[in-house]
Structure 1
């Protein structure tokens, strides 16, 4: 859905409109934290706190129903064990859907307009490190955006030196000190990467490859949000495993890792 569907051609005003709709519909004036649950992560939504309300994403101005299997279709609001109000987006719009950049980052901008100061982005991805078997969770320490796109307009110079907050990564390590860190590389998709593209990503310094997250992070940093990124390795990247890539593999890895993901997310949200 374009920003025109929200009644505004200004994407930031569209986000404010969506935030106002959510505040009125759910009776929640503001939030503290927003989470975007990517492929494999939606099973963790039920353990993040006391439910305060929910709404179908497709009913919120500027949003569309998620089209990718493994993504939920609701926005939930909960009160965490730390007393914070968290909005949980159980699905996202991907750049490869062909709707442009603005719908991809609309959720992030809506969360910021609704008062969030912290954003947790999650995804399912391919892993380049052979030590990271499917089911491994990796903290994103940095990213490489190979989409050729940006949500920024004009001469908007945003410092991306610390795209993913060191402070939030330290908190995540307190919850689980076994979490490795890596560099996430976003390709446009929807086709999976070729083995040559995976080798290129590795040569550039990448450890993880996927089709989301970086554009959302850029928009979040523009809005002043602290970002924590978490990747679930669902498969070895192309050319590094013995089997062809298939989305059913991604979904199965998420199901297999469900209890760990739920516990990890709950623990992290509890200290934010």
Structure 2
């Protein structure tokens, strides 16, 4: 399915009417990490279903709301709940939120997710900065006719997860006494969790953590010239490592226990950008 520039502009214009001035900082919250949205002051809350040409979140733990307001001294636009290929969306449609963000003025984007640890040196509750990703499944979100208003047909992604932002996050982590790991995020389409054999293959290929989100957003942001900081909360050990089954209950429990730490980290990062 092809979308012209005006398709995205219609969504952005509706949001602009609701929020007024442009917003420089974007934030997308992953599974069990939606609590930070409640810390946004003087919020304008927009249900996804109200936005023309936008998508709807079908994941129960995702609020499905766009929130614009102040986080510390910075004005941010936050997606509390994101969209995934496993919900039935074509990869091209997953570009919609990020392109709308760009039209709203977003220059820096923080992506969070809950991920399973492939690297045995990581454990549930750890925070991993994404320095790269591996995506071997599905199409690119910017597949199809290029829209030059967003970016060039061919574009570099060697610094997709912006090094300067990772360095800033590390400095903030040291100040806040929050230990940060760093690694490669392996994209899996889901919704089933990965098999033990798949995890072994991912480890051989260089993956440190695995999840079902984030990558399409990062690719679209790179095309739009948006800087990206990717943060994974390690919510469980990936399949086959401990012998225990992977469950959404475990993911949610670890998210609840670690939420304050992740929120503090993000708030301080935004403050110092």
Does TM, scored on the shorter chain, surpass 0.5?
yes
1:258 and 2:259 matched: yes
**Larger CA deviation: 148-157 vs 162-171:** 148-157
CA drift at 1:146: 2.1
Aligned residue runs from structure 1 range 112-191, under 5 A: 112-152=102-142, 153=144, 156-177=153-174, 178-191=179-192
Aligned residue runs from structure 1 range 12-51, under 5 A: 12-26=5-19, 28-47=20-39, 49-51=40-42
- Give the whole-Å Cα distance in 2 for the aligned partners of 1:187 and 1:261: 23
Match of 2:44 in 1: 53
Match of 1:74 in 2: 65
For structure 2, the residue ranges without an aligned partner over 5 or more in a row are 147-152
CA drift at 1:105: 2.2
Match of 2:95 among 99, 105, 112: 105
- Give the whole-Å Cα distance in 1 for the aligned partners of 2:271 and 2:82: 23
Matched residue of 1:270: which SS?
Answer: helix
- Give the whole-Å Cα distance in 1 for the aligned partners of 2:135 and 2:249: 25
Q: Does the 8 Å contact 1:54/1:76 carry over to 2?
A: yes
CA drift at 1:168: 0.5
CA drift at 1:154: 5.1
**Larger CA deviation: 256-265 vs 63-72:** 63-72
- Give the whole-Å Cα distance in 2 for the aligned partners of 1:211 and 1:55: 25
CA drift at 1:11: 5.0
CA drift at 1:140: 0.2
Which consecutive segments of 4 or more residues in structure 1 shift more than 4 A?
none
Q: Does the 8 Å contact 1:140/1:164 carry over to 2?
A: yes
**1:32-73: CA deviation from partner (whole Å, max 9, x where unpaired):** 0111101121012223x4224111122112223311132122
Q: Does the 8 Å contact 1:33/1:86 carry over to 2?
A: yes
- Give the whole-Å Cα distance in 2 for the aligned partners of 1:234 and 1:198: 15
TM-aligned CA distance change 1:202 to 1:154, over 3 Å: farther
- Give the whole-Å Cα distance in 2 for the aligned partners of 1:12 and 1:232: 34
TM-score (norm 2): 0.91
**Larger CA deviation: 57-66 vs 250-259:** 57-66
CA drift at 1:243: 1.2
CA drift at 1:99: 1.9
For structure 1, the residue ranges without an aligned partner over 5 or more in a row are 4-8
